[in-house]
Amino acid sequence: MVLLMAVAPTVEPIAIGRPEDLVRLADSLPPHRLVKVLPTSDPSPEDSSLVWVGYTPQELVIYARLYQRGIKASSRRRDAPALLEGKEDHIRVVLNTKGWGVSSARYTVLVNPLGTVGDYYGHSQWDGENYARANIYDWGWDVLVRISFSTLDYVRQPWGFNISRTIMAKAELQMLSPNLKGDPALDAKLLLDWDRIVPRRALDVVLIPSFRLQSEADSTWDGALRSRRIVPMAGFTLRGKRGRSELLDLTVLPDFSDVDVDIKEFQLNRLPIDYPEKRPYFTEGQNYAPDRRLIRTRNLVQPLFGVKFYSAHRRNDLYVNALRDMYLGSVAFGRGTWRPTAEVSLASSFVITDSSDYQVFGGDGMIYVRPLNVSLYSAYHRNFPLNAGRLSLHVDRDVDAGLSFAAWYVRTDDGFLSPYNVRAINFDNVATYGLWMGYNQFYMPFGRSLVLRSGVEYNKQSSLDGTVLSEGGRGYYFIWIPPWSVSGSLNMYYYGYLRHLYHYDALYGIEDFTARYAVLSLPSYYASEWESVSLRVGFGRYLGHAMRSLSLQVQISPFGVNTGFLLYRYNTVLDDLTVYQYYGEIPLGRNVLLKPYLNYTEDRANDDFYLEGNMIVLWEPRPLTGVYLAMNKRLTGNSPQALHHSYEKEVFKVQVRLKVW
């Protein structure tokens, strides 16, 4: 790919009194034009993008007119994954606030045609002060973006600056300063009159109080609901931020739960208390290193307090929390990370309870030697009836194009009381090691894109009790946007899986359980996050019997209403499972969203049938402020005709962000 501009352009924003002045003056001012860089280069694309840049003493202001036919966007909540991952139409503004050519201070703001904002500074948890207003017209859409100077950590010299735009229907990327290498030195220079800008505050302090009223009732063996339990909960978080550099959170009786859990993915990683299920995963929070799970429990009674600290530029962090658990009692856990250089990260973690049932002290380190990541983790578990430990070594190389690989070694001598199901788990000197290799290739035949990926994986595990597990797999994956396609892409993948399990038993000798399994994704259609169809089938053999699976997912967005359907079927000699799901997002007004969810499951192997429905109504006028109402009802039984009430729950939550300083 040849850059269309050999020299990065210079952008001098227009001084204005109010943000709306830029919209009013746009027709009388020369615009900046974005150029097309993918899938082919074109300095004058058919769907043009006109941009005006201005600033007030408090804000940087960007106004854009973006011409196109048809809109592919569905996200309506701040920092929505589809928006942050670039899976829908959007405009992206990038600021290198530490100066032109510096990448360590990149602040990114994304806005889709619905006016939804996503931003990140290393990670999406770092929210800035910004505002966006978007409108959709017959010719396309326009957007006004305002970025406050007060919460940016910046220097008084030219910033790096770039604007890009993605048109999903044509897989088209446009940029102000064409830059496919991610090199900030190729971005435009943004020149500001610093004497006109109000200096930023040294410290921002906000108070985030929350109140939650929860009502729930479960059933007796005959299906009669017990008396309803009503539990009020209130707490607050005091947050201090120094520009984009440092953050300190102090929480007291916090309600970490995200009422609007994305149920269809069955992944609860936002520290929920017990809605819709009691399975929170506690990690040190989202930062620059991968999350490491510290404790998992289904028996959380109540969070007590917490402390969280991040230093963005030094990349140091500390996370400590305390809670009450039904089985573990009072629990304190935390993790601290120190990064002496950009290539080295050292950390320690702990879990302490008021009994000897579950005590963990660990440490880990990571070294980044381009292009390799090397990480080492060691933990000491003080449990009964033995003291135990764990050691792991992991090396990986992950690139978008070319050869990627990962190798790992884990040795565990561990026995502990499982905090999520109160069952003793023992790993007696178990060693696990594995290797994964993959190759990615990017092609552009006929002006359209084709991505090929292939990989192999091997795992082996052994222990002193004679259990030996070996497994391996190979996969092939490709995405193709055909030349005649104007609204989506086709993708397909195949993954083969072979597993051998040898278990030594003193009475019966060695038993060999072999599983061969393959997953085939048939040509699937993808146009945007809520316009897709995917079909996957699995087949193989396990314990001498057939193993089959089927997954069909359809997502459509008629009249702006996001709707999804899922059918899942899994059948082996031990399992006979069928799941039907409906879920959606229905806009009811500005910042008001209704999220229905319905799940019907048939587990015929265990004669277990249940029907579950959730409905969540939320109003989020601005970040960290909202009103939430959630309702859950579950029916269970041993046949479809004998379903009875087993659980009901209602949650009302109010949270507000108050500026203190």
What is the tens place of the pLDDT at every residue in 173-219?
A: 999 998 877 777 788 999 999 999 988 777 888 898 988 888 878 76
Top mean pLDDT of 46-50, 285-289, 311-315 is at: 46-50
Neighbours of 216 (CB within 10 A): 17
CA dihedral of residues 422, 423, 426, 430 (deg, nearest 10)? -90
Looking at 255-366, list the stretches that DSSP marks H as alpha helix, in order from N- to C-terminal side.
none
For residue 328 the two structure tokens come to: 């573990």
Residue 506's pLDDT is 47
Residue 266's pLDDT is 32
Residue 426's pLDDT is 44
Residue 418's pLDDT is 40
The dihedral built from the CA positions of residue 36, 41, 43 and 46, taken in this order, carries a sign that is negative
For residue 222 the two structure tokens come to: 């005959």
For residue 429 the two structure tokens come to: 């000197």
What confidence category does residue 1 fall into, taking pLDDT thresholds of 50, 70 and 90?
very low
Top mean pLDDT of 34-43, 321-330, 389-398, 487-496 is at: 34-43
pLDDT over threshold 70, residue 101: yes
Residue 283's pLDDT is 37
Residue 441's pLDDT is 67
| Phi/psi-derived region of residue 253, left when phi > 0, alpha when psi is between -120 and 50, beta in every other case | left
Mean predicted confidence (pLDDT) in 592-603:
89
Strands 159-167 and 172-175, sheet pairing: antiparallel
Own/partner contacts of 248-252, CB < 8 Å, gap of 24 or more, are 248/307, 248/308, 248/309, 249/306, 249/307, 249/308, 249/309, 250/305, 250/306, 250/307, 251/303, 251/305, 251/306, 251/307, 251/308, 252/305
Neighbours of 599 (CB within 10 A): 19
The dihedral built from the CA positions of residue 263, 268, 273 and 277, taken in this order, carries a sign that is positive
Give the helix/strand (H/E) hosting 275.
none
pLDDT over threshold 80, residue 482: no
479 contact partners, CB below 8 Å, separation of at least 6: 449, 450, 451, 489, 490, 491
For residue 50 the two structure tokens come to: 């006109």
* Higher local confidence (pLDDT), 269 or 189: 189
Neighbours of 278 (CB within 10 A): 15
Residue 468's pLDDT is 62
pLDDT over threshold 80, residue 594: yes
Residue 233's pLDDT is 82
Residue 384's pLDDT is 38
Neighbours of 512 (CB within 10 A): 9
Instruction: Collapse the DSSP code of 90 into the 3-class scheme (helix H, G, I; strand E, B; otherwise coil) and give the result.
Output: strand
Residue 34's pLDDT is 94
Q: Residue 277 and residue 599: Cα distance in Å, rounded?
A: 14
Q: Residue 271 and residue 319: Cα distance in Å, rounded?
A: 14
For residue 138 the two structure tokens come to: 């017959």
Neighbours of 344 (CB within 10 A): 13
CA distances from 328 to 80, 279, 349, 420, 433 (A): 35, 15, 18, 10, 32
Place of tokens 């000699």: 573
What confidence category does residue 106 fall into, taking pLDDT thresholds of 50, 70 and 90?
confident
Mean predicted confidence (pLDDT) in 315-334:
78
Write out pLDDT tens, residues 368-393: 776 777 777 676 655 434 445 667 77
Residue 140's pLDDT is 95
Range from 35-39, 100-104, 438-442 carrying the lowest mean pLDDT:
438-442
Strands 188-190 and 10-11, sheet pairing: parallel
Place of tokens 């190798």: 407
Mean predicted confidence (pLDDT) in 602-610:
87
Mean predicted confidence (pLDDT) in 117-133:
76
Write out pLDDT tens, residues 228-255: 888 888 888 888 877 666 778 888 876 5
Q: 223: which DSSP letter?
A: S
Mean predicted confidence (pLDDT) in 148-172:
88
- Mind spelling out the 3-state secondary structure of 185-197? HHCEEECCCHHHC
Q: Residue 211 and residue 236: Cα distance in Å, rounded?
A: 9
pLDDT over threshold 90, residue 143: yes
Contact, 110 vs 117, CB < 8 A? Answer: yes
Residue 222's pLDDT is 60
CATH topology of domain 10-196: Immunoglobulin-like (2.60.40)
Contact, 340 vs 346, CB < 8 A? Answer: yes
Contact, 101 vs 184, CB < 8 A? Answer: yes
* Higher local confidence (pLDDT), 513 or 416: 513
Q: Which residues on adjacent β-strands are paired with residue 353?
A: 331
Q: Residue 228 and residue 571: Cα distance in Å, rounded?
A: 38
User: How far separated are the first and last CA of the chain, in Å rounded?
Assistant: 48
131 contact partners, CB below 8 Å, separation of at least 6: 117, 145, 146
Residue 53's pLDDT is 97
Write out pLDDT tens, residues 487-511: 556 667 676 767 665 554 444 455 5
The distance of Cα 325 from the centroid of its chain, to the nearest Å, equals 27
Contact, 34 vs 51, CB < 8 A? Answer: yes
Residue 524's pLDDT is 78
Backbone angles phi, psi at 447, to 5 degrees: 75, 5
What confidence category does residue 273 fall into, taking pLDDT thresholds of 50, 70 and 90?
very low
138 contact partners, CB below 8 Å, separation of at least 6: none
Contact, 459 vs 432, CB < 8 A? Answer: yes
Q: Whole-prediction pTM value? A: 0.73
Q: Residue 15 and residue 55: Cα distance in Å, rounded?
A: 5
Place of tokens 């587990």: 603
Residue 9's pLDDT is 83
Write out pLDDT tens, residues 56-84: 999 999 999 999 988 888 888 888 888 88
Neighbours of 570 (CB within 10 A): 17
pLDDT over threshold 80, residue 220: no
Q: Which residues on adjacent β-strands are paired with residue 111?
A: 91, 117
Instruction: Calculate what percentage of the chain has a pLDDT beyond 90.
Output: 19
Question: Which amino acid is residue 498, in one-letter code?
Answer: L
373 contact partners, CB below 8 Å, separation of at least 6: 366, 367, 394, 395, 396, 397, 398
Q: Residue 389 and residue 380: Cα distance in Å, rounded?
A: 4
640 contact partners, CB below 8 Å, separation of at least 6: 602, 609
For residue 253 the two structure tokens come to: 């009786």
Strands 14-15 and 49-55, sheet pairing: parallel
Residue 25's pLDDT is 94
The dihedral built from the CA positions of residue 172, 176, 177 and 182, taken in this order, carries a sign that is negative
Number of H helices and number of E strands within the chain?
Answer: 2, 41
Residue 423's pLDDT is 36
Give the helix/strand (H/E) hosting 83.
helix 81-84
Give the helix/strand (H/E) hosting 95.
strand 90-96
For residue 181 the two structure tokens come to: 């290498």
Range from 240-244, 283-287, 407-411, 652-656 carrying the lowest mean pLDDT:
283-287
The distance of Cα 242 from the centroid of its chain, to the nearest Å, equals 25
Residue 256's pLDDT is 52
Q: What does the mean pLDDT of the chain come to? A: 76
Top mean pLDDT of 139-148, 242-251, 319-328, 583-592 is at: 139-148
